[in-house]
A and B are shown apart, each in its own frame.
Chain A
Amino acid sequence: MGIVSPGFQGRPRTQEPALPPGQYLTEDFPVLSAGPTPRVSLDTWEFVISAENGSEHRWSWQELMALPQETPMVDIHCVTRWSKLGTNWQGVSLDTLLADVDTGAHFALAHSYGGYTTNLPLDDLRGGQAWVVHTFDGAPLPAEHGGPARLLVPHLYFWKSAKWVRGLRLKTMDEPGFWETAGYHDYGDPWREQRYQGD
């Protein structure tokens, strides 16, 4: 296990309403899933970032755990209208994972065990805004919530935080993912209520 750096505070909420428009507060952690839950062994698990020039950066489970660890406490907002405040995670910042990746790409397509995909601007994965997380509330992330590891990008609707994440494909052109090709918004900012295409 790497070094844990505590104290990440998330977005300051002093000047803002706690909930984005159209959201309600839940204390539960609803399980949403578009398919069967993949069961991924830690022995074979890997996370791969492939750059637009074809080069690949690969981490095994042990290698991920050896990277500096962060403990983000963040609010999450699902497009199905529930929000959960102050959730506790542990994982590796995408800043760390992208540090040695030589790329001029502006977009990323996250892809998962089980086939799910979602697209994000690469800038939204940088600057302390995104993590690959493996621990929730101090315990290993359960498979139904995306374990062994999921993406965590809390400033966008939660469908962007791909469960069972396996890697990122960096792209010069934006390529919409699973829900983005079926009516959902390309970017998905909950504070601007970008739920569907054209919102």
Chain B
Amino acid sequence: MIEAGADSYDKRSEDEIIEYYTSQKGTEMIWSKEETLPREEIERIQLERLQETVSRVYEKVAPYRKKMDEAGVKPEDIRTLADLSKLPFVTKQDMRDNYPFGLFAVGKDELVRIHASSGTTGKPTVVGYTQGDLKTWTECVSRIACMGGATGKDVAQICFGYGMFTGALGLHYGLENIGAAIVPSSTGNSQKQIMYMQDFETSLLVATPSYALRLAEVAKEMGVEPERDLKVRIALVGSELLTDAMREEMHKFWGKDILITSNYGMSELMGPGVSGECLEHCGMHINEDYFIPEIIDPKTGEVLPVGEQGELVITCIKKEGLPLIRYRTKDITRLFYEKCKCGRTFCRMENLSGRSDDMLKIRGVNVFPSQIEEVILSVEELGPHYEIILEREGFLDKLTIRVELAHVTDSFAVLEKITAEVKNKLKIMLGLDAKVLLVSPNTLQRFEGKAKRVKDLRSK
């Protein structure tokens, strides 16, 4: 087992943890004292861990050593946190090129878990965990669960697909660690999911926003009113963007009092647990003693000043198995360092406005599917289910949006008004010309995991 640097800050005695935990049980709490450290202290830990990680990676990970040599950087060149920008990036392509274990810093013997993300093209990306990594992961998720309002009294139903995907097991161990009762119901069999919610009095739901909506829909079909008949008080959503419009839509289905918080992570970095939203709803706190965030210009790779929007780059500073340095997440966000009202000092990343991977270029206009979603959700008569279809007609892109009506109407005028409203808003707000096709309620595909709502049929 490799001992990673400065441990003093997360080695609390078990008694200390139990005491801290029981004193706060049932109320919103801050899981670890690290989350409230002064900035200088956070930075001191970060530098120490960064230096240790870079030396270790240089020694053990040949492909990254090669990159550093090519860039002319040695581990001893990292003297301050600002020196991080001297280091080369790691991309998803690097992970594919070194499939499966090429970027690992430990031998297979030391791994205790392997996950993989389903690659839509080519090989999947493989990630591995040592015993120590699993502890780190559990710690990080425990923190974001508490940030999001979870407590040890919750009955937590995990409606993420269990398996090679990191989401379900990540939340599972984190929530179990804070004392919640886990219902590992996974995805699918939605009627049974509703039965568990009723019978076990599930109070916390883990799901993608689109599956949470689906579950509410199924409940209603069964004659179960989520707000009246179920006890779900928190939804910890992830793995999909949670726009403000989507949050509102979730309130329509689950009631106005449900607490909805999003959290962020990706398997390459660890899984869920990189950052999470606190009850102040002002962005997601990054676990800065484990991850150093940077925002770069995705075109030039240059680090942008604090507060500017760009691509999030993350360096793992306390991982043993797969310590990625300057990993390009392709997620677009910005960082805030002001102290949060919740008491945490860890910086916050703005809820994502999109993934650069998901960005669509339609007739020269750059647009995120989430922006189209916001337009759709702003029209009252429309449900939250839609499909974006892109085709090429001659030299022109053709955009078609199929969207479900929330209810059937007998008024032709209403249908014409809805169509015109969506078209106008797309034109005015996003500069897009679209064909809008209304479809009957309950006819578009429903998703249990990450929703796939874009069909790009243009030949690339």
Report whether chain A binds chain B: no
- A residues engaging B (CB < 8 A)? none
